[in-house]
């Protein structure tokens, strides 16, 4: 199982707690995890990635294992510790000042 930590507003939207566990088929890539998150929680479609293009929304970031994975392509494999369920994958609302 892949551990995913969502930002506050997406937790309330999906009605989940601090961390969710998602089953993702191999290979464990960035795109596969996001596909699985959206399939499990349809209310999150369009909130992390744009409808249609599936491009990351500008103020959303992806972190894992102290790395910024925001600019990785969808087929990029996630770190082994995430794939093994030892570390969570973070979806983060970017700092936007103010």
Partner 1 sequence: MSSVRVLVGTRKGAFVLTADGKRENWKVDGPHFGGWEMYHLKGSPVDPNRIYASQTSGWFGQQVQRSDDGGATWQPVGNEFVYDGTPGTHQWYDGTQHPWEFKRVWHFEPSLTDPDTVYAGAEDASLFRTTDGGKSWHELAGLRSTKGNLWQPGAGGMCLHTIVLDPTNPDRMFIAISAAGAFRTDDGGKTWQPINRGLKSPYELPDPDAEVGHCVHRLAMHPSRPGVLFMQKHWDVMRSDDAGEMWHEVSGDLPSDFGFPIDVHAHEPETIYVVPIKSDSEHYPPDGKLRVYRSRTGGNEWEGLTQGLPQSDCYVNVLRDAMAVDSLDECGVYFGTTGGQVYASADSGDTWKPIVRDLPAVLSVEVQTLR
Contact between 29 and partner 1 per CB under 8 A: no
* CB count in 10 Å sphere of residue 58: 9
Q: Round to whole Å and give the CA distance between 51 and 82.
A: 26
Contact predicate 9/93, CB 8 Å = yes
3 state SS of 71: coil
Q: Tell which one of 31, 74, 77, 93 touches partner 1 (CB under 8 A).
A: 93
Q: Tell which one of 17, 18, 51, 97 touches partner 1 (CB under 8 A).
A: 51
Q: Tell which one of 8, 23, 26, 97 touches partner 1 (CB under 8 A).
A: 8
| Interacting residues with partner 1 (CB under 8 A) | 7-10, 12-13, 43, 45-48, 50-52, 57, 59-60, 93-94, 96
């Amino acid at each position: 199982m892949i551990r995913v930590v969502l930002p506050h507003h997406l937790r309330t939207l999906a009605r989940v707690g601090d961390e969710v566990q998602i089953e993702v088929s191999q290979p464990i890539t960035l795109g596969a995890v996001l596909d699985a998150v959206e399939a499990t929680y349809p209310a999150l479609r369009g909130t992390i990635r744009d409808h249609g293009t599936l491009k990351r929304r500008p103020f959303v970031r992806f972190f894992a294992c102290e790395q910024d994975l925001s600019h990785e392509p969808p087929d990029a494999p996630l770190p082994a510790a995430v794939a093994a369920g030892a570390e969570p994958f973070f979806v983060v609302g970017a700092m936007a000042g103010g």
